[in-house]
Amino acid sequence: MKILGEDKLATSLPVCDLVALVRERAENDCDKTYISFLEDGETVSNELTAGALEIRARAIAAFLQERRLAGERAILIYPPGLDYVEAFYGCLFAGVWAVPAYPPNPIRLKQSLPRLTSIMRDALPAVILTTAAAAPLLEQLASHDPSFTGIPVYPTDSLPDGLCEGWRAAAVSPEDVAFIQYTSGSTSEPKGVMISHRNILHTVEDLARCVAYREWERLLIWLPTFHDMGLICGLVIPLYKGLPMYLMSPMAFLQRPLRWWQAVSNLGITQTVGPNFSYDLSVRKSTPENRAALRLEQLRVAGTVAEPIHRATIESFSEAFAPAGFRREVFQSGYGLAESTLKVSGGFIHWVNVRSAALKENRVEIVPENTEDTQSIISCGTTDMGGQVCIVDPETLCTCPPDRIGEIWVKGPAVANGYWNRPEISERVFRAYTADSGDGPFLRTGDLGFLHDQELYVTGRIKDLIILDGANIYPQDIEWTVQKSHEAVRPGCCAAFSIERDNREHVVVATELFPQVAPACALDQIAKEIRHQVSRYHQVGLYDVVFIKSGSIPKTSSGKIQRHATRRRYLENGLEAYHQ
């Protein structure tokens, strides 16, 4: 905890690769605990000191070296816990490219296996690393898909520490690939981004400058560690800045969101992070009495990332948790993607009000007041440390004037070199040049936004954009309205998309409902209210409103709605619909 009057910044380790990072910490802070796991989201069950992490990483690396796997890919499929942390660093110590992947749900293999299968087919791994408990299921997957056939499955938690003596240090270049991060696949098939040691260390230093870690900070994250946010913040930041990190299972949070804030309160956490929906869920799944029992005044940064950020969420959470000492000023927003090693921009939250009619024409018209004819867009902060953002017309490839919305293009040291085994698409996405000035190379993000006062504002995805009678309609805006139209609509489980009928574009909404709130007799009334609210706020008449089975809306492994997959299933009559 903070000592009164002491406010020194935490020191970064001046290293060039992640192997050196672990070895340096093990040599100088051998017995210091850096990463702890909250088994049930409430109790510390396992801890990793710097010395123990180095021993486990060397043991796993020696095992991999013995099998001559340097330069190969290893799929990491682990349940939440510290075994994954050891295996990730073990791959780095062996020169093996780690490929973090979401563990399939044995109860719902039909839904959870396709993404893992697509990663297996693309990554072409030499091995699968996992735990002894998970190994039997993974060994059986060959009967479900041939991409698993012949791939050995090794449980790393069964390897003895004594193997560490056989580890052979090898030269590591900052440009070497550290791991392959597969994209979320919200608008296309997942692609493997090749992230180097230099990319990671640049990003963690950029993050450190953005949030200004102090020596007394205590950190917590429940986001999955097989995704870049959970991996870089949960596994690298604590070692890089010398700060204690607590990991929590995403399922522990989802089962009882209050666990997140109880852990923040009980452990004296000063920085934490979660997507927009998690703050909404925390309000809905807690009572005033629950919140009043918390102590959150020590919290210095509450990041909101990974999905569109809503002003209403910021305001409702701040008001609900104010009795616990939470201050709205601690909210930070950010924008990033796997291709830029997690971060492009960041900063403390504020917003601008823009005219909705102008947005439909790709124009930015900022006004002082928020009314029914405007909407608030959250700033995603500024770039730092050599990063550059440019707003470009995606059709002409010319730089947009300040009052226009265009595609967000990015360049800088955090941008990865490309996609694994996809040279043509890598050339198109990672090496773009503006047509008017010839500036580049830029990363084309596929996201839309604008710059105002040197800050980035994100408005949507190009591939998700709905164009109706020449006007731009952002699906996330319609989905937000649908969620707020009736208490029966499940937040974060709605998709808006367009279809063509009679040579015209029409908008369809598919959403899940809370069954206990929506009896069958009320479904027509709920659909009517959804149509009314969407027409009122967006001047859009819905072609169809589809209510689908709980848990069936297509999502990525990071929880993002897959609008294209939902649209495809709708057209193929593949949605698990019970009312439309």
Q: How far is CA 219 from the centre of its chain?
A: 17
User: What region, left, alpha or beta, does residue 354 occupy, with left being phi > 0 and alpha being psi -120 to 50 degrees?
Assistant: beta
Question: At residue 162, does pLDDT exceed 70?
Answer: yes
Least confident of 3-17, 135-149, 233-247: 3-17
Q: In whole angstroms, how far apart are CA 478 and each of 265, 344, 504?
A: 35, 26, 19
Question: At residue 221, does pLDDT exceed 90?
Answer: yes
556 contacts: CB under 8 Å, gap ≥ 6? 115, 184, 185, 186, 562
**Mean pLDDT across the chain:** 91
Nearest-CA neighbor of 18 among 167, 242, 208, 172? Answer: 172
- Cα–Cα distance measured from residue 507 to residue 146, given in angstroms and rounded to the nearest whole number: 39
pLDDT at residue 67 in the model: 96
Question: At residue 502, does pLDDT exceed 80?
Answer: no
Task: Label residue 188 by pLDDT band (50, 70, 90).
Answer: low
- Cα–Cα distance measured from residue 437 to residue 192, given in angstroms and rounded to the nearest whole number: 30
Residue corresponding to tokens 């029992």: 293
Question: At residue 2, does pLDDT exceed 50?
Answer: no
563 and 495 in contact (C-beta within 8 Å)? yes
Could you read off the pLDDT of 236-266 as tens digits, one per residue?
999 999 999 999 999 999 999 999 999 999 9
Could you read off the pLDDT of 87-99 as tens digits, one per residue?
999 999 999 999 9
Q: What is the mean pLDDT of residues 453-481?
A: 84
229 and 223 in contact (C-beta within 8 Å)? yes
CA dihedral 118, 448, 349, 261 (to 10 degrees): -20
pLDDT higher at 363 or 505: 363
Strands (E), 406-520: 406-411, 443-452, 455-461, 466-468, 471-473, 489-501, 504-513
pLDDT higher at 2 or 360: 360
pLDDT at residue 307 in the model: 78
397 and 432 in contact (C-beta within 8 Å)? yes
Identify the helix (H) or strand (E) that includes residue 206. Answer: helix 197-211
Residue corresponding to tokens 């672990």: 22
pLDDT at residue 4 in the model: 40
Quick check: pTM over 0.85? yes
Token couple for 519: 């009896």
pLDDT at residue 113 in the model: 87
pLDDT at residue 5 in the model: 42
Task: Label residue 354 by pLDDT band (50, 70, 90).
Answer: very high
Question: What amino acid occupies position 11?
Answer: T
Could you read off the pLDDT of 386-421 as tens digits, one per residue?
789 999 999 999 999 989 999 999 999 999 999 999
Could you give the domains of the chain?
18-211 (3.40.50.12780), 466-579 (3.30.300.30)
- Cα–Cα distance measured from residue 494 to residue 542, given in angstroms and rounded to the nearest whole number: 14
pLDDT at residue 520 in the model: 66
- Cα–Cα distance measured from residue 146 to residue 101, given in angstroms and rounded to the nearest whole number: 18
Nearest-CA neighbor of 340 among 456, 238, 453? Answer: 456
- Cα–Cα distance measured from residue 96 to residue 73, given in angstroms and rounded to the nearest whole number: 6
254 and 222 in contact (C-beta within 8 Å)? no
Q: What is the mean pLDDT of residues 353-380?
A: 89
pLDDT at residue 560 in the model: 77
Cα-Cα-Cα-Cα dihedral sign, residues 94, 338, 269, 382 = positive
DSSP state of 104: P
- Cα–Cα distance measured from residue 327 to residue 301, given in angstroms and rounded to the nearest whole number: 10
